[in-house]
Chain A
């Protein structure tokens, strides 16, 4: 009787082991609440959709030849630096092999600071955990740590191209006026370090600038200044919430520039949901538009997970496939005992990449871990962002 019981127990144990699927955890984190919550919601949807596609294709091939499914867990950092640090420590304490995030540059900056700066520097006790950023776009952050990598577009190249193209296409336009969401790391840096500089370099005169804050709801004074400057082009470096506020105030005060240029992050559905009428004609460089089969498929799959496809969320989609490729090429073991070794392999694999395949084509990668992604210019027409020009 005892032998029979033992045999039954062994059979159950063996069956259980066979049925147990290997999984690899990829963590995501970003703002899922607050003014910029759409970034986190869309990134999570894109990550879940990409994981589903990868899992349907069999999953990730491990060093021993077996396959593992990808599990995604997404945590909300509320676009807050302290919370971002807590979240990454929490993720590092689990068996997650890599994290995709954060969505906010003001979180990315301190978070990259707590990572080990130089790999193999034994005197540096910073966290040794690979972070592959999809959304936080402020220029030049990946150099903070060799454990940080980014798949965000290069705004310097993009706005250089935009203003150069505008100058060629509309030689009658001479002046640019800037509107900037001053207290948000990305929008502030993009106006002061990128847009303003690139507009001047392309031959435009900067007629002035108005500043407001992310939580502002009244833009009367700023738009009055804008009206007074009477510039040919108004360039708004702000996120969808205040971009819409300013555009509505411009309509109220009758400010009609010949052209509108927007911030990369505003080339999203949120802007058109908030102020499609006022945003008509706005031109934004974007690293995503559903212009080919792969991009359309990614957008559809993300929509099924209740997310919108834009330049940020589709970077999260791309990151999932890049990570799959890196995990397979670096031959990760995918076991509980090999977590730290696998993290290191993923970091090394990401550092080795010179190019990656994205939805719009091949992205170049530099030694600092930054990407130079393909891009195009989109324009608000009706309730959609339509492709206006492909400069590449």
Chain B
């Protein structure tokens, strides 16, 4: 069972990464900066537990705040640009963060060994979970507590006036501005919230792998962050979870025994999924059908 619990941990971490992009996408902004916020969260939480000896929960809180603050700082200049220019700018930010950690050394002596980030060598021994005797099941439950909390928050936002404003900005900025919505506040708050979620995800990721390095936060991670909510559908937070399960559990883990065919099928199945479900796995029609089945709503 440990293997499945471990897989569920990974799905949880990637779900947080996907949800961090989900809220930004609701405002119509395509951001490739999520891997950067994820990295900031990973290094912050890792340094707090390994170097400062903090418990993981407050460390995750700080990593969320630091990543959110970074995202807020990125969000303001990003307001001046949109579309493809925003993609390029956020990509540049993500690469900038990666290269920062590639050159970031901060080690302190702990007993006979030095611990902490060591540039390109990475940051090893982030072993909070095993050192505190947590079983794989407990780690999985811990991670999913955060995933469920974030999902509940986003679900609630989606049903609030703020959520409606996010979607209004995403649908048509001019119209949203015309009805009195503050674009600056909405876009920057979405970016900040997304950064905070990525920070929690990054902190958990660092403790899941026990070792992080600059290459763990490359363009591929940023692409996956965007792909999850797009493949899953932007109509509901659950779409991102479904997409993460599809990619991580089915395409990567489920097809592992196929050897070299797996890589070929990986791309082909994503293309197929996007063609069959152009609005994502959980589009408006599917959600309506699910509501009718599970929610007892009116039948067509």
Q: Which residues of A contact B (CB under 8 A)?
A: 32-33, 75-76, 78, 81-83, 85-87, 89-90, 92-93, 106, 109-110, 113-114, 116-117, 122-127, 144, 182-183, 185, 188-189
B7 at interface (Cβ–Cβ under 8 A)?
yes
- State A87–B121 Cα separation when bound (angstroms): 23
- B256's partner among A75, A81, A85, A182 (CB-CB below 8 A) is A75
- State A33–B122 Cα separation when bound (angstroms): 23
Contacts of B211 in A (CB 8 A): 81, 109-110, 113
Contacts of A106 in B (CB 8 A): 122, 213, 215
Contacts of A81 in B (CB 8 A): 209, 211, 216
Q: Which of B170-216 contact A (CB under 8 A)?
A: 208-211, 213-216
B125 at interface (Cβ–Cβ under 8 A)?
yes
A86 touches B130 (CB 8 A): no
- State A293–B131 Cα separation when bound (angstroms): 48
Contacts of B259 in A (CB 8 A): 32, 76
Q: How many A-B residue pairs have CB under 8 A?
A: 93
> Can you report 6 residue pairs joining A to B where beta carbons are below 8 Å apart?
A78-B263, A85-B6, A93-B1, A123-B133, A124-B130, A126-B130
Contacts of A123 in B (CB 8 A): 131-133
- State A320–B214 Cα separation when bound (angstroms): 34
B127 at interface (Cβ–Cβ under 8 A)?
yes
A124 touches B131 (CB 8 A): yes
Q: Do A92 and B122 form a contact, CB below 8 Å, given A81-B216, A123-B131, A126-B127?
A: no
Q: Which residues of B contact A (CB under 8 A)?
A: 1-3, 6-7, 10, 120-122, 124-127, 129-136, 208-211, 213-216, 252-253, 256, 259-260, 262-263
Chain B residue with minimal CB distance to A193?
B121
Given contacts A85-B208, A90-B256, A185-B122, 12 further A-B contacts (CB under 8 A): A76-B262, A83-B252, A85-B10, A86-B10, A86-B253, A93-B2, A106-B213, A106-B215, A110-B210, A123-B131, A125-B134, A144-B125
- State A87–B209 Cα separation when bound (angstroms): 13
B260 touches A33 (CB 8 A): yes
- State A127–B129 Cα separation when bound (angstroms): 11
B10 touches A82 (CB 8 A): yes
Contacts of A116 in B (CB 8 A): 130
A113 touches B213 (CB 8 A): no
A86 touches B6 (CB 8 A): yes
Q: Report the minimal beta-carbon distance from B118 to chain A, rounded to whole angstroms.
A: 10
- State A89–B135 Cα separation when bound (angstroms): 13
Contacts of B216 in A (CB 8 A): 81
B2 touches A182 (CB 8 A): no
Contacts of B129 in A (CB 8 A): 125
- State A182–B120 Cα separation when bound (angstroms): 8
- B124's partner among A122, A144, A183, A189 (CB-CB below 8 A) is A144
Chain A residue with minimal CB distance to B98?
A183
Contacts of B208 in A (CB 8 A): 85
Q: Do A113 and B133 form a contact, CB below 8 Å, given A82-B10, A85-B209, A89-B2?
A: no
